[in-house]
Amino acid sequence: MKSSGFSFILYISSGIFPVFINLLTGQWTCAREVFKLLFSSLDYMKLNYSELVNNLQENIMLINWKRYYNKNTIPISKNNLRKYEINNRIPIKHIKNIQPYMVPQNVLLTARAKVIQIPLNISNDFAYFFGYLFGDGSVESNGKRINFSDESFQQMKRMNYLSEKLFNITGAIYSRRPVLSKKPAYTLEIGSKVLNSFFSGYFKFPKGKKHDLIIPTSFFSDRELLKYFLIGLFDSDGTLPKNPYSCKQLFIDIAMKDRGMIEDIKKALSLFGIETLKLYPRKSKSPNSNKKCITWELRIRRRSQIERFLIEIGFSHPDKGNRYKKLKSFLRL
């Protein structure tokens, strides 16, 4: 049976945040079995509880831990036991020993104050958010924030809404004007050490400058989630004609500096029956400097494959979504 709602809430003081973890499942088995896999290949994906514990910052503490305590399951010295009883919290490193004895109820973890909710069941919204992070997002190297940028203010508002819906936190949107760009741009900064730790620790998303990106292998086992991941990715780094009626050559392209990631995207599109041209290296200038760099383009040119992309994947970005509708109308889809 499917779970009836996995979620956990992390509390953190300027860092990691208490965590309510709802361990309810439709049919309860011991936690070892429930969290045995990093993801499920069903119509949703589940985070692995053990992997989660191992990759969160070490200053998280388990609250109300005594209801789980058994001298045979948690070997603790008397001095430490007394300290943990007074504070009603125990270091997260002991959770592994508690895990097989957990009952289906909430687990509360804390390091101090703020509340962040991390879904243990991966939804379409999460897949979109994660895909957009691969394109126009970043995880700061200082461990304090995750950021998004776009020329569309409405898109930044949308990402802020998704952040609140998924993680119970909103960020701040700032306007800026890149040095070599005539258009204003917007940045969404979400100040959360726990989200930074979650994406960089659990999902191994690189901090700072993005490199060696890969689509998590588990996404390839869930067609619906892979679709929404790709929508988020193409909403950020994908392109299509502004006006198909005056366009000499119809196209849908995506470009990234990471060749390995482009190869992953090509593989993902093939699962939807979408054929692309060979990877194309293009030399270009950075929008913020005169420095030249190589980006790898993945191009869709054949009309039949463009039509398949529009039907199977599509766009939902406020601006690109309008172009998407025009292109569908032009192709009579």
* Residue 95 confidence (pLDDT): 59
* Residue 1 confidence (pLDDT): 39
Could you tell me the residue ranges of all domains in the chain? 8-122, 124-330
CATH 3.10.28.10 corresponds to the domain 124-330: yes
Residue 99, helix vs strand vs coil: helix
* Residue 162 confidence (pLDDT): 96
Residue 178, judged by CB atoms within 10 A of its CB (0-12, 13-18, 19+), counts as middle
Of 242, 232, 202, 206, the C-alpha closest to 218 is 202
Q: Say how far residue 119 (Cα) sits from the centre of its chain.
A: 11
Q: φ, ψ for residue 16 (rounded to 5)?
A: -95, 150
CB 250 within 8 A of CB 301: yes
CB 255 within 8 A of CB 295: yes
CB 271 within 8 A of CB 220: yes
Q: Contacts by 316-324 with C-beta closer than 8 Å and gap 24+? A: 316/128, 316/231, 316/235, 317/152, 317/155, 317/235, 317/236, 318/152, 318/154, 318/155, 318/158, 319/151, 319/152, 319/155, 320/234, 320/235, 320/238, 320/239, 320/240, 323/240, 323/241, 323/242, 324/240
For 43-120, list the strands marked E by DSSP: 45-46, 61-63, 89-91, 106-110, 114-118
146: left (phi over 0), alpha (psi -120 to 50) or beta: beta
Of 183, 151, 269, the C-alpha closest to 220 is 269
* Residue 80 confidence (pLDDT): 73
* Residue 316 confidence (pLDDT): 96
Q: Say how far residue 254 (Cα) sits from the centre of its chain.
A: 19
* Residue 268 confidence (pLDDT): 97
Per-10-residue mean pLDDT, the chain, length 333: 43 38 38 33 54 66 58 63 68 58 43 65 92 96 92 96 91 84 88 84 90 91 95 97 94 94 96 95 70 89 97 96 96 94
Q: Say how far residue 61 (Cα) sits from the centre of its chain.
A: 24
Distance CA 159, CA 15 (A): 22
